[in-house]
Amino acid sequence: MEQTWAMLGISESSVIRTNPEAYFEADQLLVPSLMMNSHYPPWTTDTLRKLLLPHRESTLATPERIYISRNKASTRRLVNEEEVIRSLEKYSIQPIYLEDWTVAQQIQLFASAKVIMGAHGAGLANLAFCQSGTQVIEIVHEQHVVPTYWMISNHNALDYYLMYGQGWPDPAIRFPGFEDIYVDIDRLKQILHLAGLNT
């Protein structure tokens, strides 16, 4: 968050950090709404581009075909990710771990990419910074389809594809949206072929 605040010109000294025991009284309070499963309006994507795109690390050389890994996340990981990555190597699609990138680097990565693939997750919010025509393949749990990244792709005229993965049941997880995902490699190849990607 601190990196984003700096881009927006918000100083650390003006940030109030809360805790369960903290109470604040305000004369005016602006509260953002949560639009996860509802219509995601174009102005949201436009605003992200206007405010943050100028801060990208434009001199950074990044790969044009990328796969966004969730291996370091706690949910929605691909259970057969090693097999997926081996399959993607033939298409020159490189695995990326966004946790290792600064915000400015992530913006540059997505702004320069020609092909982006990954499981549904927060990292794909960076699609807001893509150039029109960028190909996007989003992998979703077959019982948890959220249209957010399809909408962002529409806002930026991206070439969007949706691929269903199979949920990997875990007794400790009661919500399908948090389950890990198994990717059928033959189906993956079909999607890549449909997108016109060649080895």
Q: List per-residue pLDDT tens for the chain, 199 residues long.
A: 899 999 999 998 888 888 889 888 899 998 887 766 667 889 999 999 999 999 999 999 999 999 999 999 999 999 999 999 999 999 999 999 999 999 999 999 999 999 999 999 999 999 999 999 999 999 999 999 999 999 999 999 999 999 999 999 888 888 989 999 999 999 999 999 999 998 7
**Residues 142/98/129/112 CA torsion (nearest 10 deg):** -110
CB 174 within 8 A of CB 149: no
How many C-beta atoms lie closer than 10 Å to residue 36's C-beta?
Answer: 8
